[in-house]
Amino acid sequence: MLSLIYLTGSVTFIVGLKMLSNPATARRGNAVAAAGMTLAILGTIFLYEHNGRHLRNYGWITAGLLIGGVIGFLSAKRVKMTAMPEMVSLFNGMGGACAALISVVEFNHMIRAFSGGVEIDHLQLLIVFAGLIIGAVSFAGSVIAWGKLNGNIKDITFGGQHIFNISLLAVMLILSVYVIAAQPPFTGILFALILLLSLVYGVFFVLPIGGADMPVVISLLNSFTGVAAACGGFLYNNPVMLTGGILVGSAGSILTILMCKAMNRSLKNVLIGSFGGTHGGGTAKEQGAYKEISNADMAVVLAYAHKVMIVPGYGLAVAQAQHACHELENLLEARGVEVRYAIHPVAGRMPGHMNVLLAEADVPYEKLLEMEQANGQFNTTDVVLVLGANDVVNPAAKKDPASPIYGMPILEVENARMVVVNKRSMKPGYAGIENDLFFQPKTSMLFGDAKHVLQQLVAEIAQI
């Protein structure tokens, strides 16, 4: 009976994932997978038997499920749309921690059994270690990624970081192999040491990676956690954990590669490129002169334009300006101005981030243009309003082979008649590189928080 439930669970995961990859069926796909998961969990609780014994400690299990369920549900419901990427990362970390904890307990069981005279199975030990290391790295990495995305942790790079990381990894692996093969008497201490090293490695693995690359890292850590879950599947001979875990592991890896492709960068580049710090790129270049535009002037420019293209970026998300943005759009449309949004595939912190945000503010789907469409329309556009985006409109990606983002497809905003860039300051974007666009004669800067600026624009235009 239980194996039938597990089979159903595995199938729902596959079907759910398949449906998730199509816009029309995505939501149902998610529900299908969730139903399968519920079934598998309930099945495990009530039907699981080991050596003819049912599970015990129902009180504890129920309490754990309740606490986790309530916290998970509420935090997922309450989180702002802009903070979604962080949330996903945090949940991913929880899964990793869960896998690592399972390994700790199982290791403890093994040690107990060993002192009781039972021979330790080397391969089982190997799986326990794999679950421990992968789970712990994923946990620590996800927490760091979470901190970086919500701005609490800055990029930290230091000389020899890659060598440090690789040596850390090597020490971890050698220690693990030694423990598994030789099983020295002080195994417990070594086990704790490996756990500690894994956590440290997770931290240092993510620390140097620039914020613009965070989605890729989260996706990668996501597939790590999948593999950690699969280790649990091997440990308990549990097919649903195995399929679920491996499926996420492989799908996650492919997704990671797809995301890299959308940014035209290789995974290796993302992981060791450490944007900003190491490459001099355009950073050393002198800042040219730029000109500013006032809110009042900008309002006039917008009100009398024929076609306005809005390029949203992370700044929009941070400022929670999506509603103000929609308001501006409505106002302009009412005056007969054509307003469109140009969405770069990696604008924001995650692919699709901008689409989700603007959809939240009820911006109609037809107004969102994908990069190729938008690039075809810039030469007929009067004004481009760049809201808190930077790297995705940086012409260096096309022109400057020395730039770290060289080769990334960009929105060719400089083809429009006029470009206005809203930013909080002249500071470079997340990739840490200067943007020539800001110094072009066509470009004007409009400093300030995106939401604040948009609200003022709305007020000004209403008066015209």
**Interactions with another protein, residue window 7-36 (CB under 8 A):** 9, 13-14, 16-18, 20-23, 26-27, 29-31, 33-34
Q: 3-state SS of 71-94?
A: HHHHHHHHCCHHHHHHHHHHHHHH
Q: Which is nearer to another protein, 2 or 272 (CB)?
A: 2
How many degrees, rounded to 5, is the angle at CA 261 between CA 352 and CA 83?
Answer: 30
Min dist. Cβ of residue 116 to another protein (A): 13
Distance of CA 375 to the CA centre of its chain: 26
Which tokens in the block code for residue 88? 């996903």
Stretch that binds another protein, among 240-248, 372-380, 385-393, 437-445 (CB under 8 A): 240-248
Q: Which residues in the 432-461 window bind another protein by CB under 8 A?
A: none
CA-nearest of 137, 115, 111, 134 to 124 is 111
Which run of H or E residues covers position 334? helix 322-334
Sites for another protein among residues 395-424 (CB under 8 A): none
Applying CB under 8 A, among 1, 52, 56, 401 the residue interacting with another protein is 56
Enter the tokens of residue 209.
């990676």
Residues between 189 and 218 that touch another protein (CB under 8 A): 215, 218
Chain positions 258 to 317 lying near another protein, rule: CB under 8 A, are 258-259, 262
Region near another protein per CB under 8 A, out of 220-228, 274-282, 377-385, 453-461: 220-228
Helix (H) or strand (E) holding 18, with range, is helix 2-20
Is beta strand 418-423 parallel, antiparallel or unpaired with respect to 53-54? unpaired
* Per CB under 8 A, 55 contacts another protein: yes
Report phi then psi at 422, rounded to 5: -95, 125
Contact between 306 and 277 under an 8 Å Cβ cutoff? The reply is no
Judged by CB under 8 A, the stretch of 198-206, 228-236, 303-311, 372-380 that binds another protein is: 228-236
**Contact string (CB under 8 A) for another protein, positions 318-357, x = contact:** ---------------------------x----xxxx-xx-
Neighbours of 197 (CB within 10 A): 20
Q: Is residue 232 a contact residue for another protein (CB under 8 A)? A: yes
Q: How far apart are CA 232 and CA 301, in angstroms?
A: 61
Select the residue interacting with another protein from 39, 153, 156, 246 (CB under 8 A). 246
Task: Return the residue of 39, 47, 94, 168 that touches another protein, per CB under 8 A.
Answer: 94
Closest separation in Å from C-beta 290 to another protein: 32
Stretch of 100-108, 202-210, 393-401, 448-456 contacting another protein, by CB under 8 A: 100-108
Quick one: which segment of 6-14, 149-157, 372-380, 408-416 binds another protein (CB under 8 A)? 6-14
Q: Is 118 in the site for another protein (CB under 8 A)?
A: no
Cβ atoms of 303 and 339 within 8 Å: the answer is no
| Smallest gap from residue 427 Cβ to another protein (A) | 26
* Residue 196 C-beta: closest distance to another protein, Å: 16
What minimum distance in Å lies between the beta carbon of 89 and another protein?
9
Which lies closer to another protein via its Cβ, residue 13 or residue 275? 13
Please, what is the end-to-end C-alpha distance for the chain in angstroms? Answer: 72
Q: Which of 202, 252, 404, 432 binds another protein (CB under 8 A)?
A: 252
> CA torsion sign, 137 to 170 to 107 to 112?
negative
45 binds another protein (CB under 8 A): yes
Per CB under 8 A, contacts with another protein among 58-77 are 58, 60-61, 63-65, 67-69, 71-73, 75-77
Q: How far is the CB of 111 from another protein (least distance, A)?
A: 11
Active-site positions? 391
Closest CA to 210 of 94, 78, 346, 87: 346
User: Does residue number 250 form part of the binding site for another protein (CB under 8 A)?
Assistant: yes
Q: Could you tell me if 274 and 210 are in contact, meaning their C-beta atoms sit under 8 angstroms apart? A: yes
Closer CB to another protein, residue 194 or residue 302? 194
Q: Return all residues near 109 (Cβ < 8 A) that are at least 6 apart.
A: none
Report how far residue 26's alpha carbon sits from residue 20's, in angstroms, rounded to the nearest whole number.
Answer: 4
Distance of alpha carbon 359 from alpha carbon 363, whole angstroms: 5
